[in-house]
């Protein structure tokens, strides 16, 4: 089902934002603490290190107590993988005019730093219960579909069990969150403070994602 939903959601945003040809991977590790690894397609798992380039199909993992920052290019910004997270870089392309990033958050949590996505670009993150589409947003996303937007705009296409796709827009400020059980709500101040603090921590060899 998720494969069909991904195809539907891509088509939805092609209509909403336009389309453009894009080519070339644009991702690089910008900071790491603790045990974090990457596995390239057909290759062995190896430790992440600052400056390490990432390609389509790479699988990134962080262990307990670890974190890693990944720079997706000037337009899409930086994502931070928190501890016990696994992300697959399903598609990464960029030209002078647009960028594309399709990620699969298999478990754990990622933070984003306020991407500035242009018309024609696409930035989507698949989870177990739906797909987040990032426009211009600072956010935190959990693999179970909990999605907090601190600033900017995004959408979450939720796939309820046995139901139709439901697209939920999120716009901040004030900060808002989506949960599969509650829909979109204003984010409580302690949650916002937690995410801001989590985002600002400096990783070895890199800088905070915002």
Q: What is the pLDDT of residue 114?
A: 66
pLDDT string in tens for the chain (210-residue length)? 444 444 544 444 443 333 333 334 468 999 999 999 999 998 899 999 999 999 899 999 999 999 999 998 877 888 999 999 999 999 887 766 777 889 999 999 999 986 677 667 788 999 999 999 998 889 999 999 999 999 999 999 998 887 788 999 999 999 999 999 999 999 999 999 999 988 887 786 544 444
Q: What is the pLDDT of residue 162?
A: 77
Q: What is the pLDDT of residue 122?
A: 86
Q: What is the pLDDT of residue 100?
A: 83
Q: What is the pTM of this model?
A: 0.81
Q: What is the pLDDT of residue 33?
A: 94
Q: What is the pLDDT of residue 60?
A: 96
Q: How many CA atoms lie within 13 A of 62 on its CB side?
A: 25
Q: What is the pLDDT of residue 26?
A: 63
Inter-residue contact 128 to 119 (CB < 8 Å): no
Domains defined for the chain, CATH in brackets:
2-200 (2.60.120.1440)
């Amino acid at each position: 089902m998720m494969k069909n939903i991904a195809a539907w959601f891509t088509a939805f945003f092609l209509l909403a934002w336009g389309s453009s040809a894009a080519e070339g991977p644009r991702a690089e590790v910008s900071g790491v603490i603790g045990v974090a690894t990457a596995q390239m397609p057909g290759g062995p798992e190896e430790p992440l290190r600052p400056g390490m380039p990432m390609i389509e199909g790479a699988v990134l993992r962080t262990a307990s107590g670890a974190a890693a920052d990944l720079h997706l290019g000037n337009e899409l910004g930086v994502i931070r993988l928190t501890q016990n997270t696994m992300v697959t870089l399903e598609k990464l392309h960029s030209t002078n005019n647009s960028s594309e990033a399709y990620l699969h958050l298999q478990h754990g949590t990622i933070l984003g730093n306020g991407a500035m996505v242009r018309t024609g670009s696409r930035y989507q993150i698949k989870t177990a219960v739906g797909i987040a589409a990032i426009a211009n947003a600072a956010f935190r996303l959990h693999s179970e579909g909990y999605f907090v937007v601190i600033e900017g705009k995004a959408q979450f296409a939720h796939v309820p069990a046995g139901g139709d796709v439901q697209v939920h827009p999120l716009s901040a400020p004030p900060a808002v969150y989506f949960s599969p059980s509650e829909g979109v709500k204003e984010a409580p101040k302690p949650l916002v403070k937690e995410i801001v603090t989590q985002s600002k921590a400096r990783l070895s060899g890199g800088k905070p994602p915002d």
